[in-house]
Amino acid sequence: MESETLQNRQQAVARRLERLNQRRARDRYFRPGGKSGTGTLLYLHGGGFVSGDGAYMESVAGLIAGQTGRCVRCVDYRLAPEHPCPAAAEDAEAACLALWREGTAPEKTAFVGDSSGGGLALALCQRLRDSGLPLPAGWIALSPWVDLTRTCGGFDGFLSGEDLARWAEQYGGKLELRAISPLFGGLAGLPPALLFAGGEELLRSDAERLCQGIIDAGGRCELTVAPGKGHCYVLAGGNQARADFARMRAFLDDVLRDTVD
């Protein structure tokens, strides 16, 4: 049935909890059942930088592992308002560097994030670039939130402009919001990107401006805007989601240089 979620149809996924580099947070690791490609996806969860518990992370990371045929490490980063910016980015960078020290090469790593996690994936790429560190092979963002300065109202059935403004203030703390918005953090010198957005969601413009900005800066970016769909629609299942996971697999096969049958 079309209403059946992808979560109910995914492969069996092995899961374990472990600490990366003696970090306080426990990062979850998922391995797909059956054949899998080499390399690891570093997953950064959504939740407006203020939420995102273990159950949510496990659901999405398990889905991504099962649908892409790739191992997934999801990062349990600190949340605002108790831990405002740059705590999340610092934790994401620490998890990434620990993963590489464990033996996964940067060219065999890709970042994946949904909503605020998509923005965090971009911010992590920028932190690595600006520090002269290696970059991942590519990154994928579902409905990325990359402009924290937005002040418009509206409601798309899932997010409201008021929600975004409140979360941005909590995440930003005393920092200026434009300065911590990855859309304005420089889009040159980034690895290839694959973006998705719903045609009816508030964050559609974030994805469109981000994609065009990367292309204008000389980078590679592909964007799928699904008509009639909402925020992070890819995670809800249906024909569109199946087609988009096929796009993800093709993108990962390309940038990681390893095909999953």
Average confidence (pLDDT) per 10 residues, the chain, 261 residues? 40 50 62 80 97 86 92 94 97 95 96 98 98 98 96 86 95 97 98 98 97 98 97 93 96 88 57
Nearest Cα neighbor of 58 from 37, 34, 30, 80 is 30
Instruction: Output the CATH code of domain 6-252.
Output: 3.40.50.1820
How much is the pLDDT for 237? 86
Residue type, 132: G
How much is the pLDDT for 17? 47
Q: What is the pTM of this model?
A: 0.91
Residue type, 188: A
How much is the pLDDT for 13? 56
Residue type, 75: V
CA distances from 73 to 79, 82, 96, 182, 216 (A): 18, 24, 9, 22, 31
